[in-house]
Amino acid sequence: MASATTSIQPDSKEPIWKPDRRMIDQSQMKRYLDWLFVKKGLYFRDYHDLWDWSTTDLEDFWRSIWQFFNIQSHRDYQEVIEKPASGMIGTRWFTGATLNYAEHIFRNKTSERPAILFQSEQQSLTSLSWSELEQQVTAIAHFLRENNVRPGDRVVSVLPNIPEAVVAFLATNSVGAIWSSCSPDFGTPSIIDRFRQIEPKVLFAIDGYHYNGKPIDKTDALSDLQTALPTLKKVVWVANLDPDFEPPTGPRSKSVLWNSVLQTNTAIPLVFEPVPFEHPIWILFSSGTTGKPKAITHSVGGCLLEHLKALALHQDVQPGDRYFWYSTTGWMMWNYSVASLLVGATLVIYDGSAGYPNMDVLWNLAERARVNHFGAGAAYLLACMRAGLSYVGSSKLVHLKTIGSTGSPLPPEGFRWVYESVKKDVWLVSLSGGTDICSGFVGGCPLLPVYEGEIQCRMLGCKLESFDENAKPIRNELGEMVILEPMPSMPIYFWNDNHNDPAGNQRYKSSYFDQYDGIWRHGDWIKITDRKTVVIYGRSDATLNRDGVRIGTSEVYSAVESVPDVADSLVVCLELPGGRYFMPLFVVLEGQTTDPATELNAEMAQRIRLALRTQYSPRHVPDAIFQVPEIPYTISGKKVEAPVKKILMGISPERVTSRDTLRNPSALDTFILLADSMKSDLLVK
């Protein structure tokens, strides 16, 4: 078990956690370093030397990942990398190779441990063996083939985070089809906006689900979805809410029950369709908060290599470990967590609210399921902190080795809470990446210490830098996050983006390459420190500009939400005529949902300003503070900063975001009203 130091103050340069020698020696990263020395004659003094090599000698590095993880290819590759004359779009990897992602998962089939552990609001912890998983995947794959689903066809799902979703994905992948998923909490128009772009042949649908103790019926909504997708040939219904659910019947019905498909009596074994390395594995969608969702298409081989590297080397997930990440099927972290099966882990999944019946529910699951790797969004960890949860000193969570955090920057107080209140010797793995690569750009390393508020390292094979306004790399200053070399799991294209046309890929180009020619601009403000850790300050399109100085929104949230009685906050900076700026802060107070009389007063506003001034600088102090009923969030749990800024600048709400992409769309109404009042007070001056 890894050792940990005692908690420290935010301005300390001492690490909050260090790996001990036993952990280092037994880590997958150390095994990889030893393998490079024995097999390749390569010696690296430390992780940073290894990173330098991995980002300068791309061909040898990715070849080593292929070899170290013993990739099973049905046909050999000719070249590791083929780069276009300029830029990254069109880069080809391991040309000529054919393989299958699901086949690599089933290499880990064993009778010694379950494949999946599952719990929901209505279902106590249950297990699915590897044998049962294989039987179900075989039956669903046979059904897909019987219904003429072929490599390249699209199969979509609107399922909650239940074992059936994992089975449906593995079956889809095994036949070479392309997977795409939306969570059932998406609005029907939002799902139509996504799935209509890709013309699916089969839909896996749910009759309903439970959330916050309430049943939510989806039959009518998904029947409407079926009507809106004319390319559908079959709809497979999972009876989740009502065990006696019966789908629509009739001579022209496309519907069939999941359980009836599983009962197919076939002696046909599970067959894995080998596909080219660059064949699409799934289509993930952007949030759609600023326009039509982008259909981001990734490759089978790219995700296979990236996930093996990220989970095994950077999070040290080992065979037999139990891996949990709280997610919905509409967030890329669902795909990422399923990838834990690639490295021989047992996948632990949960369907339901993280706060029902109380904030302990996921931690109780971690204890009951003996979870080794527990992951969630940073917002969830901060909610647990504000709820006062504490497990240090108890006998719980003895199996826990890592706590993962992503989705938004985890501030220093979040780091401290983990070590002071959850487990003193746990390894906190903060990572950041995104739907764009279905993995992380920056993350953990079992060889390095953890400093509070800082991500441990840039991940192997990811040539990430921080650019100043002159496109020059900088250290210890806020800069634009850029990627200088291609990665295998970068999108192969956006669906329907005319990628076969020499003048195509326009949405792809405008998403990442509009500012720097041939260089990926991700849209985050970051700082790379002298010790080569990374601090993320929020989206650069929501960056605050005070007197020409850039401020990350995460700094403001860290200070404001440390003030007693502040439950949540959002800050934007509005550009005004004459080169002026106006920075309003919006806060939600503790207790205001139960007591409408709870109001922001002058004394509390002063405490907020003082916290910002003392913890950071006078530039962090807002020009005005407004109390609002709630802060708008995307379905994946990110604060909606850029759309709020545009609304307050007077842009029509319909142009800046789709309400179906929001977890709480009514939260926008307050900002729409504020925009009208601000228009006369600010924007015309």
Q: What is the pLDDT of residues 319-373, one digit of tens each?
A: 999 999 999 999 999 999 999 999 999 999 999 999 999 999 999 999 999 999 9
Burial, 151: exposed, middle or buried (Cβ in 10 Å; 0-12, 13-18, 19+)?
A: middle
Mean pLDDT over 207-226 rounds to: 93
Q: What pLDDT does residue 11 have?
A: 41
**At 301, is the secondary structure helix, strand, or coil?**
helix
Q: Is the peptide bond before 319 cis (omega within 30 degrees of 0)?
A: no
The tens digit of pLDDT for each residue in 240-296 reads 999 899 887 655 679 999 999 998 766 789 999 999 999 999 999 987 655 678 999
Q: What's the rounded Cα separation, in Å, for the pair 545 and 574?
A: 9
Q: What pLDDT does residue 7 have?
A: 31
CA 48 to chain centre: 25
CB 344 within 8 A of CB 320: yes
| 684 confidence band (pLDDT: 50, 70, 90) | very low
Between 145-154, 336-345, 484-493, 502-511, the lowest mean confidence (pLDDT) is in 502-511
- The full DSSP string for 255-290 is EEEHHHHHT----PPP----EETTSEEEEEE---TT
Residue 520 pairs in a beta bridge with 483
Q: What pLDDT does residue 437 have?
A: 96
Q: What pLDDT does residue 290 have?
A: 55
Nearest in space to 130 (alpha carbons), one of 149, 147, 106, 148: 106
User: Which positions ≥6 away from 312 have C-beta within 8 Å?
Assistant: 28, 69, 318, 343
Backbone angles phi, psi at 382, to 5 degrees: -70, -35
| 675 confidence band (pLDDT: 50, 70, 90) | confident
More confident call, 659 vs 175 = 175
Query: What are the structural domains of the chain?
Result: 21-100+280-458 (3.40.50.12780), 126-273 (3.40.50.980), 544-683 (3.30.300.30)
Mean pLDDT over 559-567 rounds to: 88
Nearest in space to 351 (alpha carbons), one of 119, 560, 152, 189: 119
| 216 confidence band (pLDDT: 50, 70, 90) | very high
Q: What pLDDT does residue 578 have?
A: 58
For the cut 60, the answer to whether the pLDDT of residue 2 exceeds it is no
DSSP class of residue 515 equals: S
Q: What pLDDT does residue 250 have?
A: 59
Residue 85 structure tokens: 């004359």
| 630 confidence band (pLDDT: 50, 70, 90) | very high
612: amino acid identity, one letter: L
Burial, 577: exposed, middle or buried (Cβ in 10 Å; 0-12, 13-18, 19+)?
A: exposed
Between 275-284, 442-451, 551-560, the lowest mean confidence (pLDDT) is in 551-560
| End-to-end CA separation in angstroms for the chain | 62
| 685 confidence band (pLDDT: 50, 70, 90) | very low
Q: Any idea which residue has 């993280």 for tokens?
A: 354
Q: What pLDDT does residue 681 have?
A: 55
Rounded to two decimals, what is the model's pTM?
0.85
Q: What's the rounded Cα separation, in Å, for the pair 623 and 609?
A: 10
Q: What's the rounded Cα separation, in Å, for the pair 427 and 450?
A: 8
More confident call, 197 vs 681 = 197
Q: What pLDDT does residue 311 have?
A: 98
| 637 confidence band (pLDDT: 50, 70, 90) | confident
**At 351, is the secondary structure helix, strand, or coil?**
strand
For the cut 60, the answer to whether the pLDDT of residue 6 exceeds it is no
Calculate the average pLDDT of the chain. 90
Strand locations in 286-384, DSSP E? 295-299, 322-325, 346-351, 373-377
User: Which positions ≥6 away from 675 have C-beta within 8 Å?
Assistant: 647, 648, 649, 650
**What angle separates helix 668-678 from helix 641-648, to the nearest 10 degrees?**
30
Mean pLDDT over 535-542 rounds to: 78
Residue 625 pairs in a beta bridge with 585
**At 204, is the secondary structure helix, strand, or coil?**
strand
Q: What's the rounded Cα separation, in Å, for the pair 371 and 385?
A: 20
Q: What's the rounded Cα separation, in Å, for the pair 397 and 399?
A: 5
Q: What's the rounded Cα separation, in Å, for the pair 369 and 348?
A: 8
For the cut 90, the answer to whether the pLDDT of residue 70 exceeds it is yes
